[in-house]
Amino acid sequence: MLRKTDHDALPATTEKVNMMTQTGLDTFDRTLQQTHLWLNDVGKSDAVGPDTQRQFHALRSVLWALRDRLTVDEAFDLSSNLPLLIRGIYWENYRPSGKPESFRTRAEFLKKVEDALEGAIHMNPEGAARAVLGMIAARVPKGQVEDIKRMVPEEIRTLFPQD
């Protein structure tokens, strides 16, 4: 049990650190910060913009469509490169049976994005896809991005930034 005098003896740095964190847990604070950075990158696209809700909906809908087109192993490989909070969003509602889904065209991929955007502020699915895939290409290791691109049909690959 801490006596008042013991608490007063705590180093000032401990109190300063706790006051500067959002959650008091370094892991949570770090993932919140990383998630905001990733969302901000998505929001640099005019198709998404600076609104955090739009950024979130774009990120989630494109990640879900991409995840469902990958093999289970590749979906897990991609998730290992995502910040903790985004990884949770990525796996939401995932059912591994029947994966990868067999959609092959750009239109089918964009329809999956559009369906996941339902109820969100109106957004062009192609613009959302380009914004999120561009952010993934910039933030995920190049080898992982190349693996993903090899797994999706050519029509879907064209939504990634051109090298």
User: pLDDT confidence of 24, banded at 50, 70, 90?
Assistant: confident
CATH superfamily to which 4-157 belongs: Uncharacterized conserved protein DUF2267 (1.10.490.110)
pLDDT tens for residues 69-111? Answer: 999 999 999 999 999 999 999 999 999 999 999 999 999 999 9
Residue 75: other Cβ atoms inside 10 A: 22
Record the pTM: 0.84
- Residues 29-55, mean pLDDT to the nearest whole number: 96
- Domain spans, the chain: 4-157
Which residues neighbour 110 within 8 Å (Cβ) at sequence distance 6 or greater? 125, 126, 129
Name the average pLDDT for the chain.
89
> Cis link prior to 11 (omega < 30° from 0)?
no
Question: CA-to-CA distance for 90 and 59, rounded, in angstroms?
Answer: 9
Residue 146: other Cβ atoms inside 10 A: 12
